[in-house]
Amino acid sequence: MIELIYFIFDVFVFVFGTVIGSFLNVVIYRVPYKISVAKGRSYCPHCKSPIKGSNNIPIFSYLRLRGKCADCKGKISLRYPLVELFTGILAVLIYLVYGFTIQWAVVFMAGAILIAITAIDFDTMTIPNGLVIALMVPALLCFFVFPDVGILSRVIGIFAVSLPMLLLTLFITDAFGGGDIKLMAVAGFMLGWPNTFLATFIGLILGGIVAVFILIRKTKEKHMAFGPYLCIGIMTAMIFGDIIIQWYISLFGL
């Protein structure tokens, strides 16, 4: 009976996450075009026809319609259901770590914003200021719901990575984008300096792997979005950072 209750909660959290993921798809599409995300129904990106409620069920509607618009039959990107699926999985993962608590709500809020930042940065090579400002909300809430991370650690975290990134950009043109620097400043307060370094390390490793792959393919593209890999690092550090750091310390017997 207990297992059934846990399963029902997992399903509920997953469904809730996919619904938020559906909204994130709206944010990802509209924010770069400076279209309000609070007004107007969702519509097909091809024919602009409003999407009926029955055709706007996360993941399920995409599968039922076979990835095509119900009106114009235009192809709908696979990324829409993937964003919904990943957001649902992330909601469950955070729930398994924090339970149904205020910590879960705050971490999931941060994760949802990071997903939107990731997708938009991939598309446009920019991180919208509005989403960085939105990330300040869970960052400030972290100060209250994660009191173990002291204010000094958070203040140091603001500058620990963002300031070196800024200085490096002054000497090397386009070393980092302004959005990356602002993202890490907010993340620094949210995580505290140890986890901020961990998030950056993860981002550098992932970004480096992708950069090597791009060089091997010898494409004409000389720039790549670094924000998505920082976002992955931030989310990983936020959920598992303390565990990873303790494992690393114990590895050297410190």
Question: For position 114, what pLDDT does the model report?
Answer: 98
Identify the CA nearest to 194 among candidates 129, 146, 128.
146
43 exposed, middle or buried (CB, 10 Å; 0-12, 13-18, 19+)? Answer: middle
Reported confidence tier of residue 254, pLDDT bands at 50, 70, 90? low
Mean pLDDT of 162-188: 92
Q: Which of helix, strand or coil describes residue 50?
A: strand
d(C-alpha 100, C-alpha 201), whole Å: 30
137: tokens are 């909300």
d(C-alpha 198, C-alpha 210), whole Å: 19
Mean pLDDT of 161-168: 95
Reported confidence tier of residue 56, pLDDT bands at 50, 70, 90? confident
d(C-alpha 12, C-alpha 48), whole Å: 31
d(C-alpha 49, C-alpha 242), whole Å: 47
Reported confidence tier of residue 59, pLDDT bands at 50, 70, 90? very high
Reported confidence tier of residue 43, pLDDT bands at 50, 70, 90? confident
Mean pLDDT of 137-161: 96
d(C-alpha 74, C-alpha 57), whole Å: 18
Question: For position 218, what pLDDT does the model report?
Answer: 65
- What percentage of the chain carries pLDDT values higher than 70? 97
Is 0.85 surpassed by the pTM of this model?
A: yes
